[in-house]
Every structure is written in structure tokens, then in C-alpha cells.
Structure 1
Amino acid sequence: MEGQNSSDLRPQYAIVPGQSLAQLHLGASIHEILHLLKADKKSFANIHLHYEPKAPLEGTVSIATPGNGFRLRFDGKDQRLRLIEITDFTKLRLAYKGSELSKDGGTAEGPTFKRIYQLFRESYPGEYLPPKNSQGKGQYVLSWAGIAFIFPLQHSAYSPAKDHVSMLSSTAASPATVMSLFDGNSWPEVRNSIFTRTPSGPRLSAIATRPKDNLPAEIELANVRQDGRIELQRRTPAPPFMIVLNETTPQDLITELGAPDATHKRSTDTVPSDTPARHRASSMSNGRPHPGSQPSSYSSTGTDTFDADFDSGDADEDPTDRSVREVFWCYFSHGMDILIGPQNDESTNLLVNGTSPRGSSPHLVVLKVIIHGNVPGSYAFNRHRRLRWTLDFPDQPYIGDLNSETSFDTTDGLRSALLHVFKDVWPEADMGRGKVVNRVWGESGGVGMIDSNFLLDAEQELVESGGSEQWLGNTKLFAFPGLGFEVLEGGAVAALTVY
């Protein structure tokens, strides 16, 4: 990712403890990191994604690239980079403030303690992890603010009475085998909370590296209210921004969210299957990385499934006439697609209390908002970054917290709670059953049996963990008043539509 000299063709990565490894910034979204890696196809021909198939939003998500020597670890709920680990120092060169971490330019071993001490200077004592059988080598973990190293150490040479400088500079210690970058003052301080504490860095690296560009504030959470309002809570110090269905205008969106990454005209026409996906949408660059493709509901058949998935109540109007005026604004880096069009007087916005906001604007307005979950293993994975959400039902506090991590199918999950909330509005039979959709259905009429390689690009692939086809299982679409859910096998919500 950095420069290289003629004597060593391995790429060089700049280390900034507590912040970054080259362009890979702690706190960045998995969506941005994958697009950065994809941009360098020569260095990252294959990208391996590891996650728990049965619980993709729990635990951690890891990215590894064969031949590059490092691993990136993200939390499952917010999908933000929490830990950068160098696991093979022979695959790359590392530099700290312009100085090589391994002064010899590349041996079969990692940097020595002496070299690391020269660069990072004195440190507090670290932690010793003995071997399981009390023989051989244990591991000594030594950290500074934002960075840690693991040194193999002969178990017989360790003594709590000895200072770590003497032990690690002796022949009983081997060069470092692992280096970790993290957000915190020391490894012992953060190791138990590294995947749960709030990162200090933004999800989008450009916000940290180009503060003068005045990029839109990133969205932390979408709070979906019962009156057709979506409160977007943004990174401090930006105030919340309220999207009001049937009232918020395109100009409001541009002012608060910036220009969309791409636009896509709503249409009932079928796009030919041989049309490359990245050419079906008109890109509108605003400084945020994006794949330049259509909304995530666009299926492999070339048809837009937004309209088929959730009927927003505009059936009385000629769909051809309306489609020429309705456009999806795709905010890949915000985690949303927003449908813009003429005001819809028949919309049903969360009719819990029998009322719905109404306006009389002659201008184009927001008709619906699709919030993406970016669930690993889903058909639309990594087209948008993950945007977490909550459902706000203040009149019914006893139903508990309903959010983007709540399972849909469990006894205390989203479906049972929403059936209770809307029991007097819609028939339970209409709400309780989901329409089955296969996002990978081929145009030939057969199911597209894709293998474990999820093609991010014609020249690059993302290999998902597990090696099974479980993640290709059909999704189900559930409709409630003003809300639509795309649910994966296992109960994870891939997308929430508010209309």
C-alpha cells in the first residue's frame, strides 16, 4: 500500500499506533475496508471473510488475505475495525515514523526486542503467558499505547523478579511473532472490551484524514419512530437529522447527508442480464467510496425487487407514469437507500395510534427509506455499510427494546412483538407469513448454485468461511404497517424498509 524499493518488492505499510496501518484505519467500517482492499487487486487477489454462519451479528468478523501477513478483526454488531494483527512479518515491510521495523529489510523472523525498544522506547512491564506443559516457550506480551507485540520466551528464563528488558533482550527470547494495533492506552486495559467499547475513530477514514473536506457527518443509529419519522443520530458534534416521510425533500437530504453515491430510476422494465451491474446506476461522487451499483434489492434476474417486496399503497396510480418520477438515492456509505418521488397521499406510516403525518408539499419528497444490515452471508453483503436501527414504540414500553440485532423469529423476537403492536391494525395472517425470495435465482429458470466464493468483482473474490451453501438459503419478506423486513435464515434482518 505504501512505496517500495528495488531491493525488496514486499509492500511497505506505515504504522500509526492506535490509529492505522497504512490506509486501514481503526474504527473504519467493514464496508470501507473491503473496498480499499478491492481497489488493490494486484496485492489482494483473494479476500477471506470469517464469521459465525449461525450468528453472523454476534462475535467477531475477520478479514484475512493470503500472502499479505495480516488479519483485520471487526465487531459483529457495528462492523467496525477493532484490531489489526500482523501474523507473518515475512510477507510485508513495516515502518514507524519512516524507520523500518525490521532493520535488516526482511528475514525469516520478525523484529527483535532491541529494534522495537529503539523505536518505541521504554515501556511498563507486560504479561507472561506460560506454555501449557510448563516446558518450551511461553509468550510475553508487551504493549505501548495503541500497539502490542508478542515475544516467544523460554519458560525456564522467566522470573517475575526479573525486569522485562533483561529477559527480552537475552538469547532466551525470540523475535516478535505477532504485532497488534488497537485503540487504547495498553493491551491489558482494552483486551476485555476491545470489541464492545466505542471506537474513537470514524467509520469513514476520509473524515479523519481529510477533515477540511467538510464531508457529511456519519450516522451512528437510525431511530424509527411510529409517526413516519426516522431520527438519524449522527457522530458528535453533529445534531440529529429527522427524515419525515412525505415531507423531507431531496434538498434536505443533500444538505444533511451529502449527494447520493448513486441514483437509480425506479422502473418496471427488466434490465438485460448481460449489462454489468456497475454500469446500471449513475454514480454521483461525493468523496465516499462506493461500488457504483444499483440498490441492494436488485436481483440477479435484473429486476428491482423494492416494488415487489413491499407495496406502499400506490397501486391506484399508473405505475408507468409514477416510475418516471421516482428515483432511488443510494447512500452506500450511510447504509441506506431512499426513494424520492411525488407525495403519496395514501401511505400508511406506522399506524399504531390510527394517525399518520400528512403534508401538502408540491415538491418531490422522501417516500420510503431502506436501512441495510450488511449481514455476512447475505446476497447483498457489502453493497452498503451496516446501519444499526431501533424501533421506537413509546406507547408500548413493555415490549422491550427492538433493534437491528433482535432476532426476528425467537419467541421474544421482532415478529411476535410486532404482531402484538399491530394486532388491531392488520390481520395477523397478513403479517405473520413471509413471502419467500431467492436473491440468487438465475434467469435461466433454475436456482443459481453459487459456490463458497462470493464474487466481489470479475477479477477478485471473497471467500466466505464455512465452505457451505447455508448462507445461500432463501430469505423471507414480512410486511407490517409502514415496515418491511427482509429476514435471513436464522432470524437476522438483512434490511428494514420504512414506508
Structure 2
Amino acid sequence: MSLFQAQLYPGQALGFLVLGASLHDILTRIKAEPQRFPKIDLAFSQNAPIEEPVVVNLPSNGVRLRFDGPEQRLRLVEVVDFTKIHITFKEANHERDLMRPAAEPTATGPTFKHIYNRFLGPTYDGEFVPGSEGGKDVGTYVLSYPGVAFTFPMAPSAYSPDKDVMSLLSHNGTQVATSMAVFSGDTWAQARDTLWDEALPSLKTFAPLSKGSKDASPDDVTLVRIHGGGKLQLVRKWSGVGDAPLPSTWIILGETTPQDLVAELGPPDAIYRRNEQRMYIHRVRGASSSHGRRPNSGDVKPGSHDNLTDTDMSSANALSTDDGDYDSRDDDDEAVEDDAAGNVAGECFYNYFYLGFDILISTPRVPSQPPPGIDEPQVPRDRTLPSESQDRLVATKMILHGNVPGSYPFNRHRRCRWDIAYLDQPTNSETPFPETEERLGSAWKSTYLSEADAKQRQRGMVLNRGWGDSPGSSIEFLGGWEGEVKSSARKTDAIGADNSTTTLYGYPGLVFEVLRNGFVSALTVF
């Protein structure tokens, strides 16, 4: 195993581990170097995977990474074993080593004298954190610099608020640091209070990335606002010039062209053609049986009834879940003739793995009806070109991925946050589905014949992504739109993925894929 070498950028990064980077970006980079990072441990809350922090441990490298739950952005980088990493700091073209593990095999960490006199220089006094057992155990002294801090063990009897840092840490018993933290803030004491919800700057403000590094990323889409009627607003948090926010990008299903997408979002990370033969029976059922249709399916025009049950995520299977390599089984899907698969010529998914969504490109289809009693949003028409030809390819469906730890497709896409703009109460990607279900039921209540009719049409359909006989779609339906079926989930070797059975719930223009813990794994908008 090659030693992990990383340059320290206080308040910004440790090597390529940049504060504000997404969980998907970091894991993808780490998994691409198995010789350097042979072991990855992921820790998250089973009951609140998108509310509580997500922790990535790299035990072979002595590093621990902490991400917030809702945004999945890197908030804290910790070094917990200095013998497994070579850290440098560069200032005025002069590079200094924190510690050289190869040259100092007996050392367990950098000394206070080296940090204070040579590596970073003097700083203000730190803070003493008492140990457990009423302060009887050994405590911790935190030495803070702007954006970086070191911890030293200290007995309660050795600490006195009247002593300065030199007096406290210059004697032999407490002079070796046990850990280091990289964070955003002036001191660790101040940063703790805002660690998980501070508004982090764009990655493009980090100089090594802004100078044309291969790790440079496109502008983040921080939120997708769903307005109904096939209208989606893509919001960017960070500015383009100065403090002026970038204008929203609008996607109008049935109108926005592939050229529009590339102009606004850049070229897709991949293009995937799907095999939908196994979905045909559900389309026939949806077109011929009123019991199989979603609410107001009579308003959906011919040619679009496949949207009622199709939450195809074939795009997510272009990469293996284990090692990121291309799955050769998918060649079978690519090789299927379009007419044999029931596809129109050119129909495909545009995969934006690093933005967190997929977009289906096909011939124009009439999008779902707008919500009842809601004024349609004012869309700047100069940002999309309406389609005039029925043979022209346009965006007809968008799949927003939650990247929920514990879900089967975890880390195939970054997390895409969304909200439903036409609901009275705030409803977003962090809202538990039972609450979302109640609010959507109220919003669409006038479109149902009765309460019994509403319940009948909102039953769940169980989906299993763990059965490997369908690499093109990974879709298995257990029964029809029945209630949730209890079934054991197959564990996989994918990081953080151990739940392959989910349930689909449909509303006009929306299909939710819901995990057993009640959180939304993916949302399809059509």
C-alpha cells in the first residue's frame, strides 16, 4: 500500500479532501485508488440517514471524514493516526513536513514544539476539554489555528486557566499531538456551533481547483424546484460573477432539447440506452384497465402511459456497484435494437452522475397536468426552445436521486435535493414520505372521485433492485399496485447499500421510490 501524501490547506482541504465536496465525489475518488485506500468504512444512522451526519473512516490511512446528512457535503477532515499519512504545508514556496512516518518510525505524532515553532507558527491559547468521570480522566487540550486544530492529552491536574499555552504544552508528558482537524472557521471552539449547517463556499473558490485542475467540477445544482406540469427549476446557490446568483435553469418536459441541456449543464457524464421489454405488460395494463392507472390518467395522452409505472433507473447500472468499473452485462442492453425493445430511434438517458439526476431523451410527450388551482410559474422562454416537430428529441422525464446511505443504488449518483413548490407546506427531499403523501393527497384531493378512490390509486408497488437478472433496468415488481410487501432485502457488497427492496408511490407527474425507513430514495418527474 502506498502512503497517502496530502498537502494541508487550513480551513479548506487536506489534499483532494476539500471541505464542501460531496460524499459522492469523495467516495468515487477514493474507490478509484484501491492500492492507496484499501479499506473504507461507512457509518450512518439507519433511522435518519439523511438527517444525521455520515462518517467515512479510512483506517489504513488514519483519516476520518464527516459529512452533513441533508447536503452530504464534507464538513470535517480528521487525522487520527499520523503514522499512516504524510502531511505537508507549503508557504511562500517553502514546503514543510508535519511528520515523516518513514523517517520517524518510532514517532506517533508531531510534537507541540514542531507545530508551534516550525510547521504553523505561534497562535493564541487553546481550550481545555475535561475528560469523562467528572473530570477525573485525562482531558484534551485543543490548540487552534484558523481552519486547523491539534489535540493533546492533558491531565486535569496539569491544566490551569492562568497558564499560557507554552507553559501547558512544553513539558514532555503532553507534547505529542494525537489528532488533527481541518474545518471552516477561525477556531475550533467557534466552528463547533456551525459545523453542520454553515454555508460553505463554492469549490471553485479553492485555488488548486480553480486553476484548471483535473478535479475541477461544474457549477453545482443545489436544488431542483418542482412546479408541476412538467416544469422544473434548477437553482444554483453560488455566484457566477461577484455576489450575483446564477440565473435558474428551467427544464420544460416535452420542450427542452438535448442541445439546451448541454448548453446549460454541460455534456452528460454518460449516455445510456435502455431495454424496456419487461415493462410492456404494465403499459398495456395501464392503458386498458382503469384499476391500473394513476390519478387522472385520462389526462395523459397516448404514448405517455408508460410513465405511470416506469421508474427505470437503467442509467444507474452503467457502473458496477462494487468497484466502479463498467459492467459488461450492460453491453446486452446497448446492443438491443431500438425497434425490438419498443424504443424510438435515439431514445436514451442523459446521466449526470455528478449533479445527481438522469434525464430521459425521447420524442415529445404531453407532460402531466399542472396542480389544480395553482398559478403556473413564469418561465423565461429564452432559456428553452419549444419543440415543433413530433420527431424531434426532447427531455420527457427526470429522475432525481437521493443517494441515501443504505439504499441499493448508493453512491451511483451524488445527492440531488428537491422541493415541491406548489404545496402549501414546505415539502422537500428531507421530508419523510408519510408527510409528503399526506400533503400531496390534499393538493390533488379535488381530482379524485372519493376518498376510497384516492386510496385505491395511491397504493404502493414493491420494487426489488437486488435481483440481477435484469441489468438493463434492475426492476422487479412483486404483484401490482398492492400495499407494501414484507420481504427480506439482499445485502450487497456496495458501500452503504444493504436494502434493495423499496416501494413505489405515484401521483400526477411524480413517482416516489421509498425506502423502508420512510425516506425517498429517488423521485421521477414526468
Shorter-chain TM-score tier: 0.7 to 0.9
2:28 aligned partner, one-letter code: H
Q: Secondary structure, in 3 states, of the residue corresponding to 2:30?
A: helix
d(CA) in 1 for partners of 2:467 and 2:206? 36
Shift of 1:128: 0.3
Contact 2:40 2:59 in 1 (8 A): yes
Question: 1:405-484 to 2 correspondence within 5 Å?
Answer: 405-409=430-434, 413-426=435-448, 427-443=453-469, 450-451=490-491, 454-455=493-494, 462=495, 471-472=498-499, 474-484=501-511
- CA change 1:109–1:428 in 2 (3 A) is same
- Partners of 1:136 and 1:56 in 2: how far apart? 33
> Paired residue for 1:404, among 412, 416, 429?
429
Give 3-state SS (helix, strand or coil) of 2:193's partner. Answer: coil
Name the stretch that deviates more: 61-70 or 28-37: 61-70
Q: Is the 8 A contact 2:400 2:524 kept in 1?
A: yes
Give the corresponding residue for 2:239. Answer: 236
* Matched residue, 2:150: 149
List aligned pairs for 1:239-278, cutoff 5 A.
239-269=247-277
| Residues 23-69 of structure 1: CA deviation (Å, up to 9, x unaligned) | 11111001010011011111222211100011111110010122210
**Secondary structure, aligned partner of 2:115:** helix
Range with bigger deviation, 233-242 or 350-359: 350-359
Aligned to 2:243: none
How far is 1:341 from its partner?
A: 1.1
Which residue of structure 1 lines up, in the alignment, with residue 185 of structure 2? 184
**Pair 1:378 & 2:407 matched:** yes
Corresponding position: 1:68 with 2:79: no
Q: Deviations over 1:116-153 (max 9, x none)?
A: 11221121211101233444532101111110111112
Runs of 4+ in 1 over 6 A off after TM superposition: 203-207, 277-280, 354-358, 444-449
Provide the rounded CA distance (Å) in 2 between the counterparts of 1:63 and 1:280: 24
* Structure 1 residues 337-352: aligned runs within 5 Å: 337-345=358-366, 347-352=367-372
Could you tell me whether the CA contact under 8 Å between 2:43 and 2:54 is conserved in 1?
A: yes
Closer/same/farther in 2, CA of residues 206 and 42 from structure 1, 3 Å limit = farther
Q: 1:201 and 1:176, CA in 2 relative to 1: closer, same or farther beyond 3 A?
A: farther
> 2-side partners of 1:319 and 1:353: how far apart?
42
Q: Which amino acid aligns with 2:462?
A: V
Identical columns (%): 39
What is the one-letter code of the residue matched to 1:102? Answer: M
Contact 2:466–2:500 under 8 Å retained in 1: no
Alignment of 1:296-311 (within 5 A): none
Q: Secondary structure at the match of 1:402?
A: coil
Alignment correspondent of 1:361: 388
Residue 408 of structure 1 aligns to which amino acid in structure 2? F
Note closer, same or farther for the CA distance 1:86–1:215 as it changes in structure 2 (3 Å cut): closer
Alpha-carbon distance, 1:292 to partner: 7.2
User: Given the alignment, which residue of 1, 22, 27 partners 2:20?
Assistant: 27
Quote the offset at 1:327 in angstroms. 0.9
> Aligned AA for 1:325?
G
- What corresponds to 1:314 in structure 2? none
Contact kept? 2:272, 2:315, Cα under 8 Å = no
Q: Which residue of 1 aligns with 2:76?
A: 83
Distance 1:441 1:433 in 2: 23
TM-score (norm 1): 0.80
CA contact (8 A) 2:361 2:394 kept: yes
In 2: Cα distance, 1:159 partner to 1:212 partner: 47
Which runs of 5 or more structure 2 residues have no equivalent in the other structure? 241-245, 279-313, 378-384, 471-475, 479-486
Q: How many residues align?
A: 442
Residue 343 of structure 1 contacts residue 361 of structure 1 at CA under 8 Å; is this kept in 2?
A: no
Rounded to whole Å, the distance in 2 between the matches of 1:212 and 1:303 is 35
1:13 aligns with 2:6: yes
Q: Is 1:99 equivalent to 2:96 in the alignment? A: yes
SS at match of 1:77: coil
- Superposition TM-score, scaled by structure 2 size: 0.76
Distance 1:136 1:328, change over 3 A: closer
1:212–1:32 Cα change, 3 Å: closer
- CA change 1:210–1:486 in 2 (3 A) is farther
Residue deviations 1:252-294, cap 9 Å, x none? 1000100000111133258xxxxxx999859xxxxxxx95769
User: Is residue 49–residue 63 contact of structure 1 (8 Å, CA) maintained in 2?
Assistant: yes
- 1:415 alignment partner, SS class: helix
Note if contact 2:3-2:84 (Cα within 8 Å) is conserved in structure 1: yes
- Per-residue Cα deviation, 1:174-227 (whole angstroms, up to 9, x for no partner): 311110001112111110110111112439989934458996421111111123
